[in-house]
Amino acid sequence: MNSEVYVIGRDSVPQYLRLEAGEERTLTLIVPPGNGGRLVLEADLVGPGASLDLAGLYLCPGDERLDLRLLVRHTVGGCVSRQLFKGLVGGTARASFDGLVYVAQDAQKTQAYQENHTILLSETARVESRPQLEIYADDVQCSHGATTGYLNPEELFYLRSRGIPEAEARRLQMVAFLAPVLRRLPEPLIEEIHACLS
Amino acid sequence: MNKDILLEIKNLHASVGEKEILKGVDLTIRRGEVHAVMGPNGAGKSTLGAVLAGRPDFTVTAGSICYAGQDLLALCPEERSWAGLFLSFQYPVEIPGVSITNFMKSAISARRKAQGLPELTPGEFLKLLKEKMAFVQMKGEFAKREVNVGFSGGEKKRNEIFQMAMLEPTLSILDETDSGLDVDALRIVAEGVNRLRTPETAAIVITHYQRLLEYIVPDVVHVLKDGRIVETGGRELVDRIEREGYESIHE
């Protein structure tokens, strides 16, 4: 399966996707530090057996104002959509995530999953996460989840107790948090993101 | 000051939030010694280990800790590790997304940097890793696993001893390392600890039960109750606790 990676501010990012029967797409969006503004992505799954695997990560360590809007519509049955978005928000940055999954009345046997997790790196950073499911079919498997928190202090102490300096320990925690999305990226881009975290 | 003294704790008081847990602990440990700290649940045993390792949730409100001639309380957790202190956690923390290899690579390279030593070559590091894994009877794929994720209780504790072997501490603190272990795992853990014993190093074995002390024989035994050491003795104290329980031991 072809995996597409788009870096905001560098690549031309699609704003609309239409998946026909049996079509499979895997997309990963990267929002590097310093990028704000509104980012909109809409997808229609219009043919049975279509599959969309969408992931993203956003790094907002400064004063970014990021507004992520995702809309995935299942208009026919038997399609799968997955979304996993993870973000690190620090400084005085604001990030908002609006994700809507719409499942039409005829779209039976839909599988739709959406997750959005954010770690706040400062007391002054803010995030608003609004994952939503709008389901009109009755035989579907759908879930959504959103969490917002800080780096786990127990993990941090464990790492430091082994001699890993605090800054490096935090960096390891961030890499670990982003790992499920980082795994989808080519090595040079992973290294580029690692460099952003120090 | 006696040159052989590795750790000297004087009148240590420590709190979490408003609650005082350690209420004046005095403890002196010499190089080459193994001390057992026993006591009922809630006595402050784990707090003592955590305060020694520098856990930020605890506040030291009075007293002093001198470790190898240094003011231990002035050091942050990573500096304590570089100075040779090691805490084996009662509840080792899971770190999803970080492999054992990367975890140990970060730990070893930070310590070597702090000590002014050159980085290990990848070959040297791998050799060390394999040698220490064999030490706790861990198989090859262990190094690739995420730290403590999906580990059984026994594997977590063996992982602690593995890390201890990697870091070769001067003062090891084993916090309830025996809890949740079957006899085989207990033996592996105890053998690991015993093989790391040297005339220059010391260990504090924190435990509720006498079981681990059949395998790791202590030189000195302390009973901690309500935040104070209420009795100190030799191995015979372990037997007395086993026979009579902690109730019989008073100040």
- The two tokens of residue A197 are 């975290």
Nearest CA in chain B to A163: B78
Q: Which of A152, A90, A147 minimizes the C-alpha distance to A120?
A: A90
Cβ <8 Å between B76 and A173: no
- The two tokens of residue B205 are 């074995």
* Residue A57 backbone phi and psi in degrees, to 5: -140, 145
CB B120 within 8 A of CB B107: no
Question: Average pLDDT of B182-195?
Answer: 86
CB A61 within 8 A of CB A193: no
Beta bridge partners of A98: A69, A130
CB B191 within 8 A of CB B177: no
Nearest CA in chain B to A164: B107
Pseudo-torsion of CA B155, B161, B166, B170, nearest 10°? 170
CB A60 within 8 A of CB A90: yes
Give CA–CA dist B4/B29, Å, rounded.
9
Q: What percentage of residues in chain B have a pLDDT greater than 90?
A: 78
In angstroms, how far apart are the furthest CA atoms of chain B?
56
B57: three-class secondary structure by DSSP: coil
Give CA–CA dist B210/B76, Å, rounded.
32
pLDDT tops 80 at residue B2: no
Judge whether A119 is closer than 8 Å to chain B, CB to CB: no
Q: What is the pLDDT of residue B97?
A: 85
Nearest CA in chain A to B102: A172
Q: What is the CATH number of the domain that holds B142?
A: 3.40.50.300
Q: How many CB atoms lie within 10 A of CB A189?
A: 16
Sheet order of strands, B202-207 included: B85-88, B171-175, B202-207, B34-38, B220-225, B228-233
Nearest CA in chain B to A175: B97
Q: Which of A2, A142, A156 minimizes the C-alpha distance to A79?
A: A142
Cβ <8 Å between A177 and B56: no
pLDDT tops 50 at residue B1: no
Cβ <8 Å between B54 and A162: no
pLDDT tops 60 at residue B208: yes
Most confident segment among A28-37, B185-194, B209-218 = A28-37
CB A82 within 8 A of CB A54: yes
Residue-wise DSSP of B87-136: EE-SSPPPEEEEEHHHHHHHHHHHHHHHTTPPPPPHHHHHHHHHHHHHHT
| Number of domains present in the structure of chain B | 1
Cβ <8 Å between B106 and A161: no
Q: What is the pLDDT of residue B64?
A: 98
CA distance B110 to chain A (A): 6
Q: Which amino acid is at B191?
A: E
Give CA–CA dist A47/A76, Å, rounded.
6
Q: What is the pLDDT of residue B178?
A: 84
Instruction: List all residues 6 or more positions away from A56 whose beta carbon is below 8 Å from its beta carbon.
Output: A28, A29, A30, A31, A68, A84, A85, A86, A181
Contacts of A153 in chain B (CB under 8 A): 56-57
Please give the residue range of the domain that contains residue B137: 5-248
Contacts of A179 in chain B (CB under 8 A): 96-97
CA distance B235 to chain A (A): 30
* Residue A142 backbone phi and psi in degrees, to 5: -135, 145
Give me chain A's average pLDDT, please: 95
pLDDT tops 90 at residue A184: yes
Question: Average pLDDT of B5-14?
Answer: 98
Cβ <8 Å between B98 and A172: yes
ipTM field: 0.94
Q: What is the pLDDT of residue B189?
A: 84
Scanning the structure block, which residue is given the tokens 């430091």? Answer: A160
Give me chain B's average pLDDT, please: 93
CB B80 within 8 A of CB B53: yes
Judge whether A98 is closer than 8 Å to chain B, CB to CB: no
- The two tokens of residue A179 are 């790992």
State the count of interchain CB pairs (< 8 A) between A and B.
76
Domain segments of chain A: what residues?
2-151
Instruction: List all residues 6 or more positions away from B247 whose beta carbon is below 8 Å from its beta carbon.
Output: none
At A143, the pLDDT band (50, 70, 90 cuts) reads: very high
* Residue A174 backbone phi and psi in degrees, to 5: -70, -45
Question: Average pLDDT of B131-154?
Answer: 91
**B→A interface, C-beta within 8 Å:** 53-57, 76-78, 80-82, 86-87, 89, 92-93, 95-98, 102-104, 106-108, 110-111, 114, 163, 167
